[in-house]
């Protein structure tokens, strides 16, 4: 599966801890992230992460484009609702794209843990039918 990671600044450390905790599951998949988030994940886990532009330069939009082309199967986007992020319209656009294209997206740790356990159990294998690997 192709899994994308995005995290607001105040949630980047939480994303890293999540990736450390679930490295055994996540490491079996193709990983993508916005620039700084991807760098932090790679540095702390050793997992290979393809990095897009930083979020404020359009990295989340690059991920959104991959959603539209059915190239992303799952997104972990740790948002900080307490901070007024300048990219909030981009967040809403990404949420909308995930809803349109049936891409599971976790925006907080609790939902992320449910999805990562579902990934491990095979609950998301239906994505392989929608997005067959060549």
Is the per-residue pLDDT at 87 higher than 60?
no
In order of their start, the domains of the chain are 2-128 (3.40.50.1380)
Tell me the pairing of strands 49-51 and 2-7: unpaired
Q: Which of 9, 35, 60, 90 is catalytic?
A: 60
What global pTM score does this model have?
0.92
What are the phi and psi torsion angles at 74 (to 5°)?
-160, 140
Structure tokens at 92: 């809403």
More confident residue, 123 or 43: 43
Q: Quote the pLDDT of residue 134.
A: 59
More confident residue, 131 or 56: 56
- 8 A C-beta contact, residue 3 and residue 73: yes
What are the phi and psi torsion angles at 120 (to 5°)?
-65, -40
More confident residue, 55 or 53: 53
Is the per-residue pLDDT at 84 higher than 80?
no
Average pLDDT over residues 50-79: 93
Q: Quote the pLDDT of residue 112.
A: 98
Which residues neighbour 68 within 8 Å (Cβ) at sequence distance 6 or greater?
97, 101
Gap between the Cα atoms of 92 and 64, Å rounded: 11
Residue 35 falls in the annotated catalytic set: no
């Amino acid at each position: 599966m192709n899994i994308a990671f995005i995290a607001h600044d105040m949630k980047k450390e939480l994303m890293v801890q999540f990736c450390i905790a679930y490295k055994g599951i996540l490491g079996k998949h193709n990983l993508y992230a916005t620039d700084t988030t991807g760098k932090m994940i790679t540095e702390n886990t050793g997992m290979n992460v393809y990095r897009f532009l930083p979020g404020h330069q359009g990295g989340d939009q690059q991920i959104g484009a991959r959603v539209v082309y059915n190239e992303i199967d799952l997104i972990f986007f740790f948002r900080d609702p307490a901070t007024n992020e300048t990219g909030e319209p981009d967040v809403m656009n990404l949420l909308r794209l995930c809803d349109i294209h049936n891409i599971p997206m976790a925006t907080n740790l609790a939902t992320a843990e449910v999805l990562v356990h579902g990934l491990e159990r095979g609950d998301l294998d239906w994505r392989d039918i929608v997005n067959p690997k060549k």
